[in-house]
Amino acid sequence: MPKYSIEQLRTIFTASNDFNEIFDAFEDALAQKIDDVELYRHLLGNSHLAAEEVCLFAEKLSDDFPALAYDTYMWLGSLFAATYAQKDNYELATRYYKKAAQARPFETAPYLNLSDNYDANLNLPPLDELISFLSTGAEHCSETRLLTERLIFFYTLKGDDEWAEFYKKKLREG
């Protein structure tokens, strides 16, 4: 028998600062087989949770509901990208955009979102890692124009004119 209603879960996920209460509510939501990604966004966005606690919940959610993995990982990528400057979470943003790309390799959004968060002053995420990620996306996605444009930009930024020209040629050829 459910311990919490959906409204109670939403309230706990949004406002509680007690990890044990949040965890108990999360376990109850999983037992009820609630697969509403919007409900879990309240949980993952709870400002009282530490980054590693958010990751714990997200990983468990994605394991139990694989259909929610892409949306969960994309949301976490954007969450950590928005907060990485304050808390050095760029690695977490990178991790979750990569997990989103693994969940749906044909989607361009994870590749584009990570590249949108590139910080040239700090070289974060590292340029070579970003280029490699975009190259993987260009191999898997059917719509590659934007990814190719990003590869040209980042190879030019890196000073690698040979690869920049390679992708310019690819872009011209369609």
Cα distance between residue 162 and residue 10, in whole Å = 53
pLDDT of residue 82: 83
Q: CA separation (Å) from 37 to 33, 54, 57, 62, 75?
A: 12, 14, 12, 10, 10
16-69 per-position pLDDT tens digit: 999 999 999 999 999 999 999 999 999 999 999 999 999 999 999 999 999 999
The DSSP symbol for 144 reads: -
Question: Is there a contact between 139 and 106 (Cβ–Cβ < 8 Å)?
Answer: no
Alpha-carbon distances, residue 4 vs 7, 24, 26, 51 (angstroms): 8, 10, 10, 25
DSSP 3: S
User: Left (φ > 0), alpha (ψ -120 to 50) or beta: where does 11 sit?
Assistant: alpha
Does residue 1 register a pLDDT over 60?
Answer: yes
Domain boundaries along the sequence of the chain: 1-49
Q: For the residues 131-138, what does the mean pLDDT come to?
A: 96
The DSSP-derived string for 18-73 is: -HHHHHHHHHHHHHTT---HHHHHHHHT-TTS-HHHHHHHHHHHHHH-GGGHHHHH
Contact 40, 61 (CB under 8 A): yes
Residue whose structure tokens are 């209460």: 21
Taking the whole predicted model, whether its pTM rises above 0.85 is answered as yes
Q: 70-127 pLDDT, tens per residue?
A: 999 999 999 998 874 555 678 899 999 999 999 999 999 999 999 998 988 888 889 9
Is residue 61 within 8 Å of residue 72, measured between CB atoms?
yes
Q: For the chain, how big is the Rg over CA atoms in Å?
A: 19
Give the residue-averaged pLDDT of 158-162.
Answer: 97
Can you give the pLDDT at residue 88? Answer: 63
